[in-house]
Amino acid sequence: MDGSKSETLALVPPAALGRLMPMFLWVSVTGHVREAGPTLLKLCEGRPLLGCGFLDVFEITRPRPVASVTELEMLAGRRLHLRLRDAPDTAFRGLAVPLATGQGVIVNLSLGIGLAAAVSQHELTDADFAATDLAVELLYLQEAKSAVMEELHGMNLRLAHARTAAEEKARTDPLTGLANRRELDAALARAAAGAGNGGAPFALVHIDLDFFKAVNDSLGHAAGDEVLMRVSQILREETRKSDVVARVGGDEFVLILRSTTDPDGVQALSRRAIDRMEEPIQFEDQFCRISASVGVTVSSLYAAPDPDQMLLDADLALYASKRRGRACCTVFTPGMEVPEDRRAPG
């Protein structure tokens, strides 16, 4: 660079140079900052910059540390990695261009990959960048990407919620909101496997409503639905969260009880539920009257509880309750005989 060109560059008004390079530094031969671009001054707001030693404010980390303007000039044309020595230690990329002898060095900086963080931290706007600087476009692209990623995240959450709702619906009886047969089978398999491996015991309770068919025949299915919902409410209130309450047929319910597993306790729970179910249930201006028969078996009766066998045994105990006159609870005992007729009319 000849002297006339260097002198012309040095005489360019700082404001004009700042519009072209908002993050430039003019470093004198003594190593002091003579001028700085407006964006750089904004980034260093609150700390002295003009008149300060360049290397007191900035640390050059790559391609190697420097200790003087002479060493800085030796890195002319090479990409520099710099950072502010004091917090916030904002990182920069830079390029140094020596001026004529005695005029020092021009260092032009950019924010590099730390653009987004610096924009947020220092509240920069597009006015803080040169009109030809691609940083603003890159920032817009990043913001667009963030918006897209946020929308995708929201969509994934909605899909996950929809999937959870669909799975819940597949496991739930649509009328009563209780577990359905599919969910019961899965829960019973888990309970049986756990008890067979030395885990917590459980009781299996099979409930069939008495006189439910008469309600449907005389008052219609809407009345029957009202009865089923009332029965579901009673069973929820008589059990605990650790128990499973399922509707497995039109008027059949199955409970997996962990909170009460001894036969006497299960019979007491069943008696309370039966007594509540026998209370008249109002439907419009009519009263529905039902009862319930209950069969029970407990996992402790089996060396290795088998879900199918337990369901069969609870069903046999239920049938025994029907044969005894309904509205009662029977606990299965080993050796209970299978009757010739499978079920008395409901």
**Residue predicted with more confidence, 322 or 88:** 322
Local confidence band at 126 (pLDDT 50, 70, 90 cut-offs):
low
Q: Which long-range contacts (CB under 8 A, 24 or more apart) does 129-134 make?
A: 129/22, 129/39, 130/19, 130/20, 130/21, 130/22, 133/22
> How distant, in Å, are the alpha carbons of 49, 80, 152, 340 from that of 110?
17, 10, 31, 91
Q: Phi/psi at 105 (nearest 5 deg)?
A: -140, 140
**C-alpha span between 329 and 322 (Å, rounded):** 9
Tokens of 94: 């830079």
**C-alpha span between 59 and 81 (Å, rounded):** 8
Partners of 297 in the β-ladder: 204
The string of pLDDT tens digits covering residues 164-221 is 777 777 889 999 999 999 999 999 999 999 999 999 999 999 999 999 999 999 999 9
The string of pLDDT tens digits covering residues 228-237 is 999 999 999 9
CATH (residue range 3-130): 3.30.450.260
- Active-site residue identified among 243, 251, 313, 315: 251
**Residue predicted with more confidence, 15 or 229:** 229
Indicate whether 59 pLDDT > 60: yes
Tokens of 139: 């920032």
Torsion of CA 295, 300, 303, 309, to 10 degrees: 20
Find out whether 204 and 255 touch, Cβ atoms under 8 Å.
yes
Alpha-carbon dihedral sign for residues 159, 161, 165, 167: positive
Count helices and strands (H / E) in the chain: 12, 13
- For this structure, is 308 an active site residue? no
**C-alpha span between 243 and 238 (Å, rounded):** 10
Local confidence band at 8 (pLDDT 50, 70, 90 cut-offs):
very low
Local confidence band at 343 (pLDDT 50, 70, 90 cut-offs):
very low
* Percent of the chain predicted with pLDDT > 70: 85
Q: Phi/psi at 307 (nearest 5 deg)?
A: -55, -45
Q: Which pLDDT score is estimated for 282? A: 93
Tokens of 7: 């002198």
- Would strands 286-288 and 252-257 be described as parallel, antiparallel, or unpaired? unpaired
**CA end-to-end span of the chain, whole Å?**
107
Q: Which pLDDT score is estimated for 5? A: 41
CA atoms within 13 A on the CB side of 31: 14
Indicate whether 117 pLDDT > 70: no
Q: Which pLDDT score is estimated for 140? A: 60
Q: Which pLDDT score is estimated for 114? A: 64
Ramachandran area for residue 100 (φ above 0: left; ψ -120 to 50: alpha; else beta):
beta
Superfamily of domain 181-331: Reverse transcriptase/Diguanylate cyclase domain (3.30.70.270)
Indicate whether 116 pLDDT > 80: no
Local confidence band at 242 (pLDDT 50, 70, 90 cut-offs):
very high
Q: Which pLDDT score is estimated for 157? A: 85
Q: Which pLDDT score is estimated for 15? A: 75
User: ∠215-219-221 over CA atoms, to 5°?
Assistant: 80
Mean predicted lDDT score pLDDT of the chain: 86
Indicate whether 70 pLDDT > 60: yes
Q: Which pLDDT score is estimated for 20? A: 81
Lowest-pLDDT range of 5-19, 83-97, 102-116: 5-19
